[in-house]
Amino acid sequence: MKLRHVRAVAVLVGVVVALTGAKRSHGGGCDDSSSSSSSSSSTGGTHYDDDDDDYSSSGGVSGGGSSATASAEATQDVRIRSCVYDATRGIVAQVEATNTSSITTYTYEFGVTFKDPSGTLVRTSSSSIPYVSADTTETLDVAAAYVPDAGASTSGVTCVLDDVTRTAV
């Protein structure tokens, strides 16, 4: 089986797992909310945040969170490119994994915590971007269902990246 077929199967499996609400052994997983995902490859792109600090602000994007199992390289390879409210999907984080290795393919696993403009937790999601080839970038949209109160502002939603790990495949 060619690598592109393996990658296509892996992406399909990831989407099925995300949509069916399967949970990982450490308690993460999907809830009944709607989520949408897509994966695309690029050789470059706009870089919005050069540092690895966590922050929350209007339309906040946070990166660099870590856990005991996260490596520094994995944390540097994965970031949230955008965090926005979408009327049809809720709060959407576009997560980007850039494999900086010149020879190894990695699968990246991570969590995303979504908060509404008041800072109230909306959802915590576990996701992965599988089979990121050496020297490539893949993206994944991770969504949390969110319906604001009538007349409420939707600016200021936040997405925080945490528990980033990578596994050589």
In the chain, what are the domain boundaries?
Answer: 3-168
For β-strands 106-115 and 121-132, DSSP reports them as: antiparallel
- Would you say residue 81 has pLDDT above 70? yes
Q: Tokens 């592109």 sit at which residue?
A: 4
So what's the pLDDT on residue 111?
A: 98
Nearest residue to 145 (alpha-carbon basis) of 127, 120, 117, 122 = 122
So what's the pLDDT on residue 71?
A: 76
Mean per-residue pLDDT, 34-45: 37
CA dihedral 95, 52, 62, 128 (to 10 degrees): 30
pLDDT digits (tens, 9 = 90+) for 127-150: 999 999 999 999 999 999 999 999
- pTM value is 0.60
Q: Using DSSP, how many helices (H) and how many strands (E) does the chain show?
A: 2, 8
So what's the pLDDT on residue 167?
A: 95
CA separation for the pair 120, 24 (Å, rounded): 24
Amino acid code (one letter) for 122: V
CA distances from 15 to 22, 73, 108, 132, 142 (A): 11, 25, 15, 16, 11
What percent of the chain has a predicted confidence (pLDDT) above 70? 59
- Of the pLDDT bands very low, low, confident and very high (cuts 50, 70, 90), residue 89 is very high
